[in-house]
């Protein structure tokens, strides 16, 4: 399951995608539109900015906005940045790989199943973008 934090992140990104072209959006506006605790959202947005998914503008008229057009950022990238691995096991993760301490990946039945699952999941999440997160 995705963490609450990731759900908040995706909701916020969907909202910002829908407001793309409207200039910076206040944290407070996103928080109230999507019912996210404002301070928690603040840290999430900051994190996404460091990941170059978002940009921000300070001062009056400032706020957060997508660093690129909505269709340029995949949902997979967003999830990985907040939650980490998408795969169900570290030993089949492409971006957060870690070897199992005691099992041989060439003979491990579980490894094979989870690798297939990962592929099926990524086939979708690597194609979906922030544009697809816009409600409608």
Q: How far is the CB of 58 from a copy of itself (least distance, A)?
A: 29
Query: How many Cβ atoms sit within 10 Å of the Cβ of residue 108?
Result: 17
- Decide whether 96 or 127 has the Cβ nearer to DNA: 96
The structure tokens listed for 116 are 């297939």
The structure tokens listed for 93 are 């993760």
Q: Which stretch binds a copy of itself (CB under 8 A): 24-32, 37-45, 49-57, 87-95?
A: 87-95
37 binds, among DNA, a copy of itself, none (CB under 5 to 8 A by kind): DNA
CA–CA dist 18, 43 (Å, integer): 21
- Decide whether 62 or 68 has the Cβ nearer to a copy of itself: 68
Per 3-state DSSP, the chain is made up of helix, strand and coil in percentages (nearest 5) of 50, 10, 40
Q: Which residue has the tokens 């934090």?
A: 5
DSSP 74: B
- Is 70 an interacting residue with respect to DNA (CB under 7 A)? no
Question: What are the residues binding a copy of itself (CB under 8 A)?
Answer: 1-2, 7, 10-11, 14, 35, 75, 84-85, 87-90, 101-104, 107-110, 112-113, 116-117, 120-121, 123-125, 128, 132-136
């Amino acid at each position: 399951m995705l963490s609450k934090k990731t759900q908040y992140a995706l909701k916020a990104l969907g909202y910002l995608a829908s407001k793309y072209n409207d200039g910076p959006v206040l944290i407070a506006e996103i928080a109230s539109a999507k019912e996210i605790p404002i301070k928690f959202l603040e840290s999430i947005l900051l994190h996404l900015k460091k990941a170059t998914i978002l940009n921000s503008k300070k001062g009056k008229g400032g706020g957060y906005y997508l660093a690129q057009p909505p269709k340029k950022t995949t949902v997979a990238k967003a999830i990985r940045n907040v939650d980490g691995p998408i795969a169900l096991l570290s030993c089949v993760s492409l971006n957060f790989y870690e070897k199992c301490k005691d099992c041989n990946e060439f003979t491990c039945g579980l490894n094979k199943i989870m690798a297939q699952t990962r592929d099926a999941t990524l086939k979708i999440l690597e194609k979906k973008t922030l544009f697809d997160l816009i409600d409608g």
